[in-house]
Chains A and B, each alone.
Chain A
Amino acid sequence: MTLRADHVAGGAAIAAALAVLAVSGDLPFGTLAFPGAGMMPKLICALMILFGAILLVRGGASTPFSDVGWSDLPHAIRVLAITAAAVALYTTLGFIVTMSLMLFALIALEGRNLVAAALYSVGISLLTYGLFTVVLKSPLEQGILGF
């Protein structure tokens, strides 16, 4: 049997619903007449299992999973890793430092000129900081360095 996109989607949905049900133990279901806090999520999980099962059973017409292109995966991982690092540092280092570093890293990894990338990154960060703080009166994170 060929593994298809709908099989993967259906399987993932069922697994996610079962995981949610597993952590829902302490939520009271109540009764159908007087639902508790757990009724809605548990009913939705049941629906997810139902729709996931339909996808598993009827997934034969969808794209074979091996045909799904993953050529953009290295780009996605790079962008995600750099952005995650920036998010982790954001409240500590503040907007200007974090965003300058993030922009520089993302552009440098694209193979662009490093000096141009550095100037662009710092310039854009300062400009945005000024725009939000001075013009839009919507202060951005300052961090431990005070800017």
Chain B
Amino acid sequence: METLDSLMLGFSVALRPDVLWYGFLGCLVGTLVGVLPGIGPLSGISILLPVTFGLDATKAIVMLAGIYYGSQYGGSTTSILMRIPGEASSVMTCIDGYAMARKGRAGAALCIAAVGSWIAGTFGVVVLTAIAPPLAAFALRFGPPEYTALLVLGLIFLAYMSSTSLPRTLLMAAIGLLLGTIGIDNLTGHFRYSFDIAELGDGIGIVPVAVGLFGLGEILSTPSATVVGEVMAPKLRELLPNREEWRQSAWPIARGSVLGFLIGLTPGSAHIISSFLSYAVERKLSRHPEEFGKGAVAGVAGPESANNSASTGAFVPMLALGLPTGPVTAVLMAALIVHGVQPGPQLVNEHPDVFWGFVASMYVGNVLLLLLNLPLVGLFVNVLRIPYSYLYPLVIMFCVIGVYTVNNSIVDVWIMLIMGVLGYLLRKLGLDPAPLVLGLVISPTFELSLRQSLIMSNGYWTIFFTRPIALSLFVIAAVLLLLSLLALIRRRADWRTKLAQAETGEAAQ
């Protein structure tokens, strides 16, 4: 009952015309970000972060979150119509979505993707509404030792879930942790690796690193000659799927929603992993697995639902625990902090209007996206007719503005350029930059909570094993680490290796 009352408060905030306007704007920009290859939700949010500085916290987070889940909707459009994933989580949709389009069912594929996304997104928000407040209440029992254990578990979970190898993921996370130590040490006041550059005293920001690694890095590795612009625009009357297509999509949407939400709670690129896993699950459960790759409806419905549900699930640890599970939620957290709102267990009590307004805006946003994506698909597709050689310089310009405006610091823009080069090289070596960003984000909190724990215990590390919650979290982390190490030592193909093989195989098709 209390939750319902709070949700009503949220709707009273979310349905205010000004908040609604920024939510709509976020969804619209998010759809465009999803449609355009080369700009992911992370770059989109980072670039527009400074624009929200003049807004209050509620409008800012509603708009930025709209970009995130809007991009999951928009990403399917290019996948289905052009076989180009507008967003990494739409890679699996390319396979059967484009095959459906080739069979003249482009409209049906778009409609199934949009409706599946809407159902999954709404399911995700309903579960978030139910579990985030009690989780936040539980997290109030957390002190520095529990946070240290939770962050260690997060890193180990990230490595365990990664479909690349354990040492590669942990290496990337370690580089991120190291970058996070740059700047003044909070406890002793020592300057670390700032090389007399005053701007580095505050440390390296998330935005220049994220925009450089993901935005600029993508542009550097995408010459315009490789971007093909053949667009297949469906007519409005072709949008409705037939009865058989609806029937085939029902269970994949349901399974994708649940699977996506659960994966969304875990650290890593959940929206990407969830779509790959959902595709694998649907193919495994299908009575006609041979149809996958040739236009199977389940191959569109499952992954599209999963990635939307995952993007909502990722908000649970961010809002309830104050922990980002990926680079996008890290930037969203940074946005809230800029506005003086600290995400975490206290958020529900201290800023109920922000928390519940944000939750309610996601219900509204999912409806807006459904209304935006189906009738206006032809309009969004026209954006793809802009030649890439005109488009990517524009993206670079927005990267520069976005990064510079956060602190009015040209040093940040140089950091972005360096990170762009690093992102390009990491792609060449097949290393995933996401754990690096996550490491960078959690590094200061991790170091601070570890050292605070030791101060609390007068230097005894046993504090981590005498507090039940911290001990439980460490035990789970140890089990996951052992499981990963066993697979590494035996060189056996476990489910993650098989998933990685499936990813490479499908992407290559």
Contact = CB atoms under 8 A, between A and B. Distances in A.
- Do A and B associate with each other? yes
Interface of A: 5-6, 8-9, 13, 16, 20, 23-24, 27-28, 31-38, 40-41, 44-45, 47-48, 51-52, 54-55, 58, 62-63, 68, 70-72, 75-76, 79-80, 83-84, 86-87, 90-91, 95, 99, 102-103, 106-107, 110, 112, 120-121, 124-125, 128, 132, 136-138, 140-141
Given A80-B417, A112-B390, 16 more contacts: A23-B193, A28-B188, A40-B177, A45-B178, A47-B174, A48-B178, A58-B488, A62-B430, A72-B223, A75-B220, A87-B400, A91-B410, A103-B393, A103-B397, A128-B397, A137-B54
A69 to B, nearest CB: 8
Contacts of B170: 47, 51
Contacts of B451: 35
A71 B455 CA distance: 54
Interface size class of B (residues with CB under 8 A): 35 or more
Contact of A112 (B389, B392, B431): B389
A110 B389 CA distance: 6
A123 B117 CA distance: 37
Contact of B394 (A20, A62, A103, A110): A103
Nearest to A7: B429
Given A9-B429, A33-B460, A86-B400, A41 B167 contact: no
Interface in B165-214: 165, 167-168, 170-171, 174-175, 177-178, 181, 185, 187-188, 190, 192-193
B167 A27 contact: no
Interface stretch (B71-79, B293-301, B420-428, B467-475): B420-428
Interface in B378-398: 387, 389-390, 392-394, 396-397
Given A33-B460, A87-B414, A138-B50, A106 B393 contact: yes
Contacts of A38: 190, 192
B486 to A, nearest CB: 15
B459 interface: yes
Which of A40, A95, A112 has the most chain B CB atoms closer than 10 A to its own CB?
A40
B199 to A, nearest CB: 13
Interface of B: 50-51, 53-54, 165, 167-168, 170-171, 174-175, 177-178, 181, 185, 187-188, 190, 192-193, 216, 219-224, 226, 387, 389-390, 392-394, 396-397, 400-401, 404-405, 410, 413-414, 417, 420-421, 424, 428-431, 447, 450-451, 454-455, 458-461, 488
Which of B226, B389, B394, B397 has the most chain A CB atoms closer than 10 A to its own CB?
B397
Contacts of B447: 40
Contacts of B429: 5-6, 8-9, 68
Contact of B220 (A5, A6, A72, A90): A72
Given A76-B424, A87-B410, A136-B54, A124 B174 contact: no
A28 B190 contact: yes
Nearest to B53: A138
6 contacts: A16-B175, A20-B193, A37-B190, A76-B220, A106-B393, A120-B390
A34 B454 contact: yes
Contact of A20 (B178, B216, B392, B428): B178
B413 A87 contact: yes
Contact of B396 (A8, A13, A79): A79
Contacts, number: 158
Contact of A124 (B53, B224, B397, B430): B397
A118 to B, nearest CB: 12
Contacts of B181: 40-41, 44
Contacts of B53: 138
Contacts of A110: 224, 389
Contacts of B488: 58
Contact of B400 (A20, A83, A112): A83
Contact of A41 (B178, B216, B458): B178
Contacts of A63: 430
A80 B418 CA distance: 10
